[in-house]
Structure 1
Amino acid sequence: MIKKSILIIDDDIILLKTAEEILSDLYSVSVAKGGKQGITLLKKGIIPNLILLDIAMPEMDGYMTLEKIKGIPGCEEVPVIFLTGFSESDYEVKGLKAGATDYIVKPFAKEVLLARVEMHLARSAQNSRKTVIDTQIQENRKRIQEKLTPVEWKVALAVAQGMENKEIAEQMNYSYGYIKNVITRIFLKLDIEKRRELRKLLIG
């Protein structure tokens, strides 16, 4: 099984080593000793599944680094967790408004770091799957609409939404028999047999 990848960006060598030791058994870990080095890695196409980012760094702080990260193709949706010694809520709010996914105060417990990382990786994977499914549904809709007449398309959408033949006939002002024949044509054109198959194609 391929390990999920994590990039840690921090100028604190001790923290880098500590976080890497905690995470390396479960994940593929890369480290960057500051914002500039982290941005360089990302621009080379080394896109991780999650980024741990310090706020207080020289030359380029975490907020500026995060802004640049979000502008790199492929990094727009990568979850970023701030690691910082600032415990005040103002810093947390600023980080979240800047686009961070979460905020962990240093020093942190091993269990907290592992739990937060696991949670956000799971959420990210779920969002990615949803995006793929949504894209597939849109492609299905376009392909199916091209195969059907305007009336057949309207009926297909109604069927996919769970409407019965009688409801569709009344709503569209057609006879029950006509709607039944339209649905038969739709099934033949799409090579399906069940209403649930149509629903899966158009709605998911």
Structure 2
Amino acid sequence: MIKNVMEKQTILIVDDTPDNLAILGELLMPYYQVRVANSGPKALTAACTTPLPDLILLDIMMPGMDGYEVIKHLKNNPDTSDIPVIFITALDTCEDETKGFDLGAMDYISKPVRAPILLARVKGQLEIKAARDILRNQNNWLESEIQRRIRQYQKVQDISMRALASLAEARDDETGNHILRTQNYLQIIAEDLVDHSLYTDVLTQQTIEIYAKAAPLHDIGKVGIPDHVLYKPGKLTPEEWEIMKTHSQIGADAIQRAIGNEDDKEAVDFLYVAMDIAGYHHEKWDGSGYPKGLASNHIPLAARLMSLADVFDALTSRRVYKSAYPMDVTVKIINEGRGVHFDPDIVDAFNRRMDDFQDIAARYKEQNDPQDAKSTK
């Protein structure tokens, strides 16, 4: 904290000799608040007493705990490590000074003390400390402001994501709860895979947050599907199914256009992930999916995670053209798709986190099950 210009700065004088304390105190008290200690342990206590001293004048040769030991403790304590220390001592060899500077002392004043030298060096160190405190406070403010702007930016991202996801939702019967469920399913699997040797370096906490943030846009491309196909209550014809399958590419292309020529990829990294999820979450591990027929690890990881999350939710949710499948049947279908539809590692993670999946399904269960719901393919 920076002191008010009218407030005197505090100096702690540490010396085991009363006469030295008296002399130094007399020289400094007209200009500063002075605190004294006559031993190393008392010095450490005084250095931690509020208000903390702005500067410590420290004798080296003291019985018990000498000045070198005192400064070691001061520098190891986060509360006192930044307090500048000036050694005042009769020791004047190069080795003594080097040792003191190595331990963190800012200056040396030799005994007997000369008043002009003492006052000049004390003033110089206090000015340096004041400048350093101002810079630190400015840096702290800047860091706080940066974090505030980042939080603001992330909030705008989240709101934009929800707005876009709600646009797709309005064109489909999949509710906001579907979005919350699949988002949480994806995050649970990703978190389980963090300790897997293949994913330790990939699935950082930041990456998982980006995946979860991008997940709600997985079906954004359905805004481009004609009503007679999207809302058809019965089975689609082969021609209609081909139209339905284009929603993946439509979604990826739409997000790609939103990214445009943005050079700062880090600023829109979640949109790149959203593009992968929208474009490839219907790809299958064996290469039989759409729109590109990608296989195995050629399918982006975020899309592979979304694939299982989306299928699980589709199986366990009621649709106008089907009833919800029982959990045991759903688990059987998912496991039959291991290495065929789904990444085997992701299925294994699903099996380990089945309790979490069931908790999420129960937490975000649909409150109403309308009979006139539009169909989802």
TM-score of the aligned structures, taking structure 2 as reference length = 0.39
In the alignment, what sits opposite 2:37?
32
- Provide the residue aligned with 2:55 in structure 1: 50
What is the deviation of 1:76? 1.1
Report the CA distance between 1:68 and its aligned residue: 1.6
Q: Which of 5, 11, 17 matches 1:12? A: 17
Aligned counterpart in structure 1 of residue 82 of structure 2, from 77, 84, 108: 77
Deviation at 1:70, TM superposition (A): 2.3
Structure 1 residues 143 and 7 mapped into 2: Cα distance closer, same or farther (>3 Å)? same
CA distance in 1, matches of 2:102, 2:140: 28
Match of 2:121 in 1: 116
Distance in structure 1 (CA, Å) of the matches to 2:37 and 2:24: 12
Q: Report the alpha carbon displacement of residue 40 of structure 1 after superposing the two structures with TM.
A: 2.5
Change (3 A) 1:43 1:131: closer
Quote the offset at 1:73 in angstroms.
4.4
Larger RCO, structures 1/2 (Cα 8 Å, 6+ apart):
1
Counterpart of 2:24 in structure 1: which amino acid? A
Task: Compare CA radii of gyration and give the structure with the larger one.
Answer: 2
Partner residue, 1:195: none
Considering only aligned residues, what root-mean-square deviation do their CA atoms show, in Å?
A: 2.1
Q: 2:65 aligns with which of 53, 60, 84?
A: 60
Equivalence for 1:89 = 94
Q: Percent identity?
A: 35
The residue number in structure 2 matching 1:159 is: none
Would you say 1:146 and 2:151 are equivalent positions?
Answer: yes
Give 1:46 deviation, angstroms: 5.0
Unaligned runs of 5+ in 1: 150-169, 174-204
When residues 172 and 72 of structure 1 are mapped into structure 2, their CA distance, relative to the original with a 3 A threshold, is closer
Out of 129, 139, 149, which is 1:134 matched to? 139
| CA distance in structure 1 between the aligned counterparts of 2:65 and 2:15, rounded to whole angstroms | 11
Separation in 2 of the partners of 1:115 and 1:124? Answer: 14
Partner Cα separation in structure 2 for residue 44 and residue 109 of structure 1 = 29
Unaligned runs of 5+ in 2: 1-5, 155-260, 265-377
How far apart in 1 are the matches of 2:49 and 2:12? Answer: 13
Distance of 2:105 and 2:262 partners within structure 1 = 47
Distance 2:149 2:19 in 1: 57
How many pairs were matched up?
Answer: 154
Structure 2 contact 48–80 (Cα < 8 Å) conserved: no
Deviation of 1:39 (Å): 1.7
Change (3 A) 1:36 1:131: same
The 1:84/1:4 distance shift into structure 2, 3 A limit, reads same
Q: Is the 8 A contact 2:48 2:79 kept in 1?
A: no
- How far off its partner does 1:44 sit? 4.2
TM-score when normalising by structure 1: 0.70
Of residues 79, 87, 104 in structure 2, which corresponds to 1:99? 104
DSSP-derived class of the 1:52 partner: strand
User: Contact (CA 8 Å) 1:39, 1:65: kept in 2 or not?
Assistant: yes
Residue 49 (structure 1) shift: 0.6
Structure 2 CA distance for partners of 1:128 and 1:44, relative to 1, 3 Å = closer
Cα displacement (A) at 1:101: 1.1
Instruction: From the superposition, tell whether residues 46 and 68 of structure 1 become closer, same or farther in structure 2 (CA, over 3 Å).
Output: farther
Amino acid at match of 1:88: T
Q: Distance in 2 between matches of 1:143 and 1:43?
A: 32
